[in-house]
């Protein structure tokens, strides 16, 4: 049996590397509606075609935190699959609107890798992820720090 490689160890990351994530996701109307209901975001820009048609966007805009959540999830197999914890998120920037039936893709740049000063079995990887749509337009950018197991200390 061949084991799948879910996540990477601290040593697998190198500053300056760019990871093009293999997962992608088309946002369906049902995704947006369910997320709006679950999170109690009842703004008509996200759920009312008539209202949204009279805005600068001309149609409903996908809830921004849904876009963020999906993109974070798309990075898990490459970035945080072996993480101990996500330590922080910062600079979440919505660069362009996302609409129903847009497809999201993502890439992540490794900004820095620092070994833990107190625990030798882990390190902190600082990354920036950019999501873009099917037209190559950047729609989201954020940074985060992830606490990740070291290879020699992980269970294979």
pLDDT tens column, 91-125 = 999 999 999 999 999 999 999 999 999 999 999 99
Give me the number of domains the chain comprises.
1
Rounded to whole angstroms, how far apart are CA atoms 154 and 156? Answer: 6
**First vs last C-alpha separation in the chain:** 14
Residue 117 lies inside a defined structural domain of this protein: yes
Percent over 90 (pLDDT), the chain: 90
Q: How far is CA 47 from CA 51, 54, 64, 91, in A?
A: 9, 13, 13, 27
Instruction: Supply the pTM of this predicted model.
Output: 0.91
Residue 111 lies inside a defined structural domain of this protein: yes
Residue-wise pLDDT for 24-49, tens only, equals 999 999 999 999 999 999 999 999 99
Query: Which residue in the block uniquely carries the two structure tokens 């084991």?
Result: 3
Q: What is the CATH number of the domain that holds 131?
A: 3.10.129.10
- Is the pLDDT at 89 greater than 90, yes or no? yes
């Amino acid at each position: 049996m061949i084991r799948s490689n879910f996540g990477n160890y601290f040593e697998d990351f190198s500053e300056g590397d760019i990871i093009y994530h293999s997962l992608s996701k088309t946002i369906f109307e049902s995704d947006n509606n369910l997320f709006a209901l679950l999170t109690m975001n009842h703004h008509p820009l996200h759920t009312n075609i008539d209202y949204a048609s009279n805005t600068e966007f001309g149609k409903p805009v996908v809830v921004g935190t849904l876009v963020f959540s999906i993109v974070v999830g798309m990075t898990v197999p490459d970035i945080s699959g072996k993480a101990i914890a996500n330590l922080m998120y910062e600079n979440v920037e919505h660069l362009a609107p996302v609409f129903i039936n847009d497809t999201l893709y993502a890439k992540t740049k490794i900004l820095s890798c620092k070994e833990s000063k107190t625990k030798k079995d882990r390190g902190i990887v600082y990354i920036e992820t950019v999501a873009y749509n099917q037209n190559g337009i950047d729609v989201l950018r954020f940074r985060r720090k992830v606490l990740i197991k070291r290879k020699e200390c992980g269970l294979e």
